[in-house]
Amino acid sequence: DIQMTQSPSSLSASVGDRVSITCRASQGISNSLAWYQQKAGKAPKFLLYAASRLESGVPSRFSGSGSGTDYTLTISSLQPEDFATYYCQQYYSFPYTFGQGTKLEIK
């Protein structure tokens, strides 16, 4: 199975800050990577696919990058509604696996 490791596990930031979350795969996944946002008590929301392609309707302050085993989700200017937990997911091979999550909190 492909292991996905996110860092950091938690992050405190302020509105307007630029933040980045990293996801590392245990083997190359050829950009087969998605990102999700989950707020407390709610279902995950799909944000990006193919490492860098933004889902329709997702604000452009979200962006993704990376290749091989290392990927990054960046939020260019944090808004109050962005404070949530973020997960990466590889879909290169079964079983699909997720990172452990990064909780983004208000400083």
Partner 1 sequence: EVQLLESGGGLVQPGGSLRLSCVASGFTFRSYAMNWVRQAPGKGLEWVSGIGGTTYYLDSVKGRFTISRDNSKNTLFLQMNSLRAEDTAVYYCAKLSYYDSSGYFNYWGQGTLVTVSS
Binding positions for partner 1, rule: CB under 8 A: 32, 34, 36, 38, 42-46, 49, 55, 87, 89, 91-101
C-beta closer to partner 1: residue 17 or 100: 100
- Asked whether the beta carbons of 57 and 8 are under 8 A apart, the reply is no
Give the CA dihedral 39, 22, 77, 40, nearest 10 degrees. 10
Q: Nearest approach, Cβ of 75 to partner 1 (angstroms)?
A: 19
C-beta closer to partner 1: residue 14 or 56: 56
Q: Which residues of 85-106 are buried (b: 16+ CB within 10 A; e: fewer)?
A: bbbbbbeeeeeebebebbebee
C-beta closer to partner 1: residue 11 or 92: 92
Q: Nearest approach, Cβ of 23 to partner 1 (angstroms)?
A: 12
